[in-house]
Amino acid sequence: MTAAKTTVSRAEICVGACAELFRGDGEILVSPMSTVALIGARLAKLTFEPDLLLTDGEAGLLAEVPVLGEQSEPAREGWLPFRRVFELLAHGRRHVVMGANQVDQYGNQNISAIGEHSRPDRQLLGVRGSPGNTVNHRTSYWVPKHSPRSFVEAVDVVAGVGYDRATGSAGRFHDVYRVVSNLGVFDFDGPQHRMRLVSAHPGVELEEITEATGFPLHIGEFHTTPEPGQEALELIRTRLDPKNLRDREVRA
Amino acid sequence: MAMLLRLDEAIAELVGDGDVVALEGFTHLIPVAAGHEIIRARRRDLTLCRMTPDIVYDQLIGAGCARKLVFSWGGNPGVGSLHRFRDAVQHDWPVPLEIEEHSHAGMANRYVAGASGLPFAVLRGYLGTDLPAQTPNIKTIECPFTGERLAAVPALNPDVGIVHAQRADRAGNVQLWGITGVQKETVLASARSLVTVEEIVDELEPVPGAIVLPGWAVTAVAHVPGGSHPSYAQGYSERDNTAYQQWDPIGRDRERFTEWLRASVFEEAGA
């Protein structure tokens, strides 16, 4: 048993942590935006959250969970084209896990530009749904490279709204839940909704996390991120991601 | 009743320098051939609008057709960044590119307001972000009933709206199906519109989930089979994923891009 445990990869721990984001969500639309978060959502659906609604990335709601990286025609149980997503997200029945080029201690997220918005040093992909997602329904972030460049004191452009700005109408349905990185899991239950360490991934020292974080992280009681159980590992390795695409996003 | 024109005639007739132009499409039905024709026509100073600009916008920007981009996400889907777009924003190459950034919902609602003949759209979103400070086109308003403060964005009414569809009849009624984005709103919001189609038929047989744009709402239709390649037209073609991957090294390099323009856009015309 011990031998098996030591072989659990960091990516698999991150998949397990991303799956946990959805615990208790029930029958809502979940929109994970990259590989590890996607495997995590599918793992949650196959295990403890069977009612989660997952899309095929286009407009179909999946009735079964397909294998990552394989051409397949999974059965669909619903049709959710682009415009319907707006209605659904304004109603709040969605949990999105977005990426963040930068995230700060209040959970403000930047995917727009590094530097000045009008003349950036690095033009990023654009805010996409962040300005609406973050003020309408639960939002989490998955950051595969935790560093002082991604966990910053203040983001260059606020695309997704953090707790310090979630006032008035922007605060009505604001719910930035958690951040999962390659080093740990974080929430915003520190003082004044500042980022707090929930758990450090196995093998990660606290110092490694604080050094990789560009602001003072709230450290209270925290635990070690649980490894996925045997059934979950089996699903990740054989059913969900047999080509091990997860390791491309998170280096061991 | 829409005019049936050749693609080059349609672009020459409908798109002028300095126009606000939206080439919309979502996942499939992206009007790529029409974009290439705009490059061949050497249009300049365009304000390009699109919710999710992908490689055809990278090409238009790299070719120097645009002075401004109005968008909510710009990338090479499934591959990465748009390098011509980044080069223009960061280094003014080949010409400076101003950007106006919105959220997806903001863009969609702007088109809806434009199509509805309303001056603006209202939504919960933007508040708390840095976007309102970057453009005069996002303001805060107070709901007259509840007092809640919400975001307002002005209607988007392009000079020209361009979309690709599966087919049209000879009167210029257009039918499209599959994943539709904001094509209907774009056509209805635009002063002039062009639809490129896979096929022109005598009669539009009903298709489940299809929408029909009536000929009186469309300025011109051009028969351009494969006009959405490398995206696809459901029922007619498959997505060419390799082409999206191959775009990355071309788009990264100014010289390779310039050579691509010459060989694949200008010479392709068979002039």
Distance to chain B for A160, nearest Cα, Å: 7
Q: Are residues B139 and B184 in the same domain?
A: no
B226 and B96 inside one domain: yes
Tell me: pLDDT of A243 over 60. Answer: yes
- DSSP 3-state of B3: strand
Question: What distance, in Å, lies between the first and last C-alpha atoms of chain A?
Answer: 20
Which B-chain residues 88-117 have CB contacts (< 8 A) with chain A? 89-90, 98-99, 101-106, 108
Domain co-membership, B58 together with B162 = yes
Q: Pick the last residue of a domain from B154, B177, B192.
A: B154
pLDDT at A5 over 80: no
Phi, psi of A109, rounded to the nearest 5 degrees: -120, 145
B104, B107, B146, B252: which to substitute to probe chain A, counting the most A Cβ within 10 Å? Answer: B104
Q: B138 and B46 in one domain?
A: no
pLDDT, mean of residues A203-217: 98
Q: Domain ends where: B112, B135, B154?
A: B154
Mean pLDDT for all residues in chain A: 94
Q: Is residue B103 within 8 Å of residue A130, measured between CB atoms?
A: yes
Residues B83 and B139 in one domain: no
Residue B13 distance to chain A (closest CA, Å): 32
CB contact under 8 A, A122 and B149: no
**A187 with A177: CB under 8 angstroms?**
yes
| CATH code, domain with B58 | 3.40.1080.10
Residues B139, B164, single domain; the answer is no
Q: What is the pLDDT of residue B270?
A: 53
Query: Do residues B87 and B219 both lie within one domain?
Result: yes
Q: For residue B163, what are the contacts with CB-CB under 8 A and spacing of at least 6?
A: B23, B24, B25, B29, B31, B176, B183, B186, B187, B193, B194, B195, B196
Q: Which of B154, B179, B196 is the last residue of a domain?
A: B154
Residue A98 at interface with chain B, using a CB cutoff of 8 Å: no
pLDDT at A252: 67
- Scan residues 123-152 of A and list those with Cβ closer than 8 Å to B: 123, 125-132, 134-136
The mean pLDDT value for A159-174 works out to 96
Residues B115 and B205 in one domain: no
Task: Give chain B's domain count.
Answer: 2
Taking only the tens place, the pLDDT of each residue in A145-156 is: 999 999 999 999
What's the rounded Cα separation, in Å, for the pair A215 and B1?
62
Among B130, B193, B119, B129, which Cα is nearest to B158's? B193
A70 three-class SS: coil
3-state SS assignment for residue A240? helix
Within this chain, do residues B184 and B124 fall inside the same structural domain, yes or no? no
Higher-pLDDT residue of A106 and A71 is A106
Q: In chain A, which residue ranges form alpha helices assigned H by DSSP?
A: 2-6, 10-21, 35-46, 82-91, 130-136, 206-211, 230-234, 246-249
Average pLDDT on A15-20 reads 98
Q: Which residues of A touch B182 (CB under 8 A)?
A: 82-83
Query: In the prediction, which pLDDT does B211 show?
Result: 94
Residues comprising chain B, all counted:
271
Answer yes or no: is pLDDT of A4 > 60.
no
- Does residue B174 share a domain with residue B75? yes
pLDDT at B271 (0 to 100): 45
The segments of chain B whose pLDDT lies below 50 read 271
Distances (CA, A) of B62 to A43, B25, B251: 42, 20, 8
- B208 with B128, same domain? no
* Range of the structural domain that residue B120 is part of: 104-154
pLDDT at B196: 98
Whether B23 and B140 share a structural domain: no
Residues A126-137 have a mean pLDDT of 97
